[in-house]
Structure 1
Amino acid sequence: MDIIVEQEIELHQYDVRQSRADVERLIHPSFSEVGKSGLSFDFTSIVDMMSSEEPSSFKIHSQKYECVQLEPSVQLLKYESASIAPSGEISDYAKRCSIWIFTGSCWQLKYHQGTPCPAFELIYNK
C-alpha cells in the first residue's frame, strides 16, 4: 500500500518528527516500539525522543518495502534501512517492520521494530 510506505518515509524526516501534529497524525496513541538499540518506547517516550532530536546531515535510506495484509485494517510493512553520512559513509544497517492500522479515518503506526543486520547493497530509485 503506497500510503503506508509514504507515511513510513515521512517519519524518517526531521521536520515531520518535530511536528506534534504530524506525529499525532501518523502514530497511534497506543504505539509501542522495540528499537534497534533494544530499548522499548511508547507513544509518550517516542514523542519526547523525537522532539529532543537535533538536525542532522545524515539521511535515512530505506528500500525493499513489502506490505503484508494481516487483516483488512492491519498491514505489516517490512523494509531495510541505513544511515548515509554527507561523506557517503553508510552505517546503521537494519531490517525493520511496522504494523499500521486503519482507524476508520486514517492509517497510523501501531508498532515498530528495528533489528541490526549485516551491510547490504543500497538500491536507489531513479
Structure 2
Amino acid sequence: MPALTSLPNLAEIQSLEEALHRPETRRSREAVEALLAEGFVEFGASGNVYDRATIIDLLAQESGGDDGDLRTSNYALIPISNDAVLLTYETERSYRNGSKRRVLRSSVWKHDGLKWQMFFHQGTIRT
C-alpha cells in the first residue's frame, strides 16, 4: 500500500469517531460496516471483547431507549504509522437518574488506500 501524502487532521478522525456515537449511524448496518475495518476488535468498557460481526449485530439491534446524554472531551490524535493514527478521548454519559459514567477511549484508525476505518477500539471506565 502506498504511503499517504499526509495524515488526517483531528477534526476528520473525530468526525468519523463521533458518527459511531449517533443512533442513526449505529443502527445502520451499512454505515457501521463502512466505518469498521475487516479484523476490527473492541475491548469494551464492560470487560468484554467484541469482533466486527458481533459489534455490527449488537449496534443494529439497539433500541434507542434512554442512553443518557453523551459528552466528549480531550481529543488527541497521534500518528502511529504512515497509514494509521491513534485517537484518544473521554466520554461522560449522564443518565436521568442522576448517575454518570466516565470512560477513557482509544481508537486506532487505519487508511485502506481509499478511506479511514476503525481497526481497534478500547473503552476503560474512569473512576
| Residue 11 in structure 1 maps to residue 20 in structure 2 | yes
Give the corresponding residue for 2:102: 93
> What is the Cα deviation at residue 85 of structure 1?
2.7
| Residue 20 in structure 1 maps to residue 29 in structure 2 | yes
Give the corresponding residue for 1:52: 61
Root-mean-square deviation (Å) = 1.3
Identity %: 29
TM-score by length of 2: 0.86
Deviation string 1:13-68 (CA, Å, 9 cap, x unpaired) is: 11100111211111112100100011000001101110111113423211100000
| Residue 105 in structure 1 maps to residue 102 in structure 2 | no
Q: Which amino acid aligns with 1:115?
A: T
Give the corresponding residue for 1:83: 93
Describe the SS at the equivalent of 2:117. Answer: strand
Within 2, Cα distance between the matches of 1:21 and 1:8?
Answer: 16
Out of 64, 67, 74, the residue aligned to residue 77 of structure 2 is 67
Within 1, Cα distance between the matches of 2:45 and 2:80?
Answer: 23
- Unmatched segments (≥5 aa) in structure 1: 119-126
| Residue 43 in structure 1 maps to residue 41 in structure 2 | no
Runs of 4+ in 1 over 6 A off after TM superposition: none
TM-score by length of 1: 0.87
> What is the Cα deviation at residue 84 of structure 1?
2.2
Give the count of matched residue pairs: 117
